[in-house]
Structure 1
Amino acid sequence: MIAIIGAGKMGEALLAGLLTRDHAPKDVLVTEPREEHAAELRERYGVETVPAADAVERADTLLLALKPQDMLALVDEIAPLLSGRNLVISVAAGLTTAVLESHLPAGVPVVRAMPNTPALMGQGMTAVAGGAHAESAHLDRAEELLGTVGEVIRVGEQHMDTVTAISGSGPAYFYFIAETMIEAGVAMGMPRATAQRLVDRTITGAAAMLDGTGEHPVVLREAVTSPGGTTAAALRELERHGVRTAFTDAIEAARDRSRALSGN
């Protein structure tokens, strides 16, 4: 039995993914304190919604999908009901496995996961790291469940802050680029809807090329860049304004903020 505790956007995305990939509604419990939303989940997915204590007593795998500021209070509430038979998977940003383990009985396996918002479209990228008591079978289980909303990779927990900076926050960087490109098109007289469609499809297509060809980004960039052409002129301006350095600095700032939030 699987319990999803917290059914916000990410929790509901995980719920939908599980039910799409060989899990029946009877195999999934959901804890959602907002009764109106809980009723919607029962109607939409056919799942049973229960209090957190009931979910812990009945499920062997717990997916904790609460906001970081709410997570430890929930963990303290359910800790007396947990034992080594349970697997705790946390998708809360910034909370290390050591912090979670310090609030749990000894021996409870914990897996920390960092998904990103494309999981809502089944196109997520999630990194997982095991805590002190997590064995390979626990990581396999976490990969199986989180793989319902995209791709999953294992990393050492020392890399999780960098994961947060690259893939956790990463979609926002691309939205920022898209916003900038759309506004540039509008400024040059193009209808906004046309500019947005051009940008949306260009970014989607470029991502598909990057993922599908296996080529290094430099190779793909050079294939678009004719000597003395329009792309070369644009790239020269980006380099002149230090965009590459700015992106590197931005990712390092996101990593450092993640470290500060997690106490690393």
Structure 2
Amino acid sequence: MKRILVLPNEFEEKLNEAYLSAEVQSKWLEIGIGSAQEMIEAMLQKLNKNYPKLKVVECRFDTKENIKSTIENSGNSSIYSGYFETEDGRIDGLFFYIHPKLNSGNDFLTRQVMPTLLGISDSVLNRTNNLYFNNRPVYIVNLNETNRSSQRAVKVSFVCSELLGFNYIDMFNRGYHDVLGSSHPIGNRDRLIGLEELDNLLLSNGSNNYFEVNDVQKELILLSGLIVNSENPSSEVYRYLLRVLPAIYMAIDKNYRINFDSFNGVNQSLIEKIRNYVSKLNSII
């Protein structure tokens, strides 16, 4: 079945704006791309090559507000999200992109992807039996030409997205599995790295500030310190969520309860959305 990729109007604007930079032009030419339109065509070709079942034949542009409504995002509209539309008008996949010239590692995936997914999850949570955080396949294309994609924290975020089953493409063919320190067959949910390895991956200054595992009580204990002590709690929630969701999936596979007690007394709308999701998961244990 053929598909159309529906993109926000700002997507093309971001590419045209980026191409005004000589540095961006130079990076694009390294992969044989000489214009914004060529980048769009190359992106569609790469999506089809990596995921042949998509069969994307063209892209269409729409307003971010229309896209927000179509994908049932209850949060803010986003210039980074789109969707795949089948020939019969169904929406069967979500699309996100990391745009050129973005030079803040903290914003990779967290600002582009997680707010929209949280908004969709909150919108559909009470009317679906799906226990996954996202209700449709997720595809992420990295168009960023800076060296941020080579930073450890950014590579960890790419690994976490892959652990969640997200489909990731780097237009510049940069890898990130080296951050694991050894070879792991990521990409198949039956062969994921375990909680202990994820714990090690998230260590910072000798401590994992995201979660603890209590094998005796069969609990995954989510830690609130990073958010409570943050100067920008909302942004921190998105970074936090990307890293704890893989742990939550692994814990549920082990029939472990998700302990959210650390967030008792934390009054924030985003935290309430996560609390509702965790409550749904715990109800099946």
More helix by share: 1
For the criterion TM > 0.5, the same-fold answer is: no
TM-score, normalised via structure 2 length: 0.27
Structure having the higher Rg = 1
